[in-house]
Amino acid sequence: AQTIHQWPVAEIKAVGSPLSLGCTIKGKSSPNLYWYWQATGGTLQQLFYSITVGQVESVVQLNLSASRPKDDQFILSTEKLLLSHSGFYLCAWSLVGEADYTFGSGTRLLVI
């Protein structure tokens, strides 16, 4: 069975500090991977997607970056957090050519 694991579960970070969020998918080879973000009271917005190792496409610019260093790993990061980065971050995967997304349990980020 496929599993998707996100870490950490929650973070409180200072403005201007770096951030790294991780996502690992087990049991599925070469999935499409996605990062989503939802501000408190806001809409889920897709940030990035990746269809293969080393290749990441940006959907919405939020002064964040993403990388896919391994087939089963997707990393979201920034060197300098802004207050506006607070929210809920979700990782997801799907099979190539399909739009049925399976989501992780998310990371809640508070920037202070």
Partner 1 sequence: GDSVTQTEGPVTVSESESLIINCTYSATSIAYPNLFWYVRYPGEGLQLLLKVITAGQKGSSRGFEATYNKETTSFHLQKASVQESDSAVYYCALAPSNYNVLYFGSGTKLTVEP
Q: Does 34 bind partner 1 (CB under 8 A)?
A: yes
- Binding of partner 1 by 103 (CB under 8 A): yes
Among the listed ranges 23-31, 41-49, 65-73, 79-87, the one in contact with partner 1 (CB under 8 A) is 41-49
The SS3 of residue 46 is: strand
Residue 93 near residue 101 (C-beta atoms within 8 A)? yes
* Of the residues 22, 28, 51, 67, which one makes contact with partner 1 according to CB under 8 A: 51
Neighbours of 50 (CB within 10 A): 20
Q: Which is nearer to partner 1, 36 or 81 (CB)?
A: 36
HEC readout, 17-32: CCEEEEEEEECCCCCE
Of residues 52 through 91, those in contact with partner 1 by CB under 8 A are: 57, 59, 90
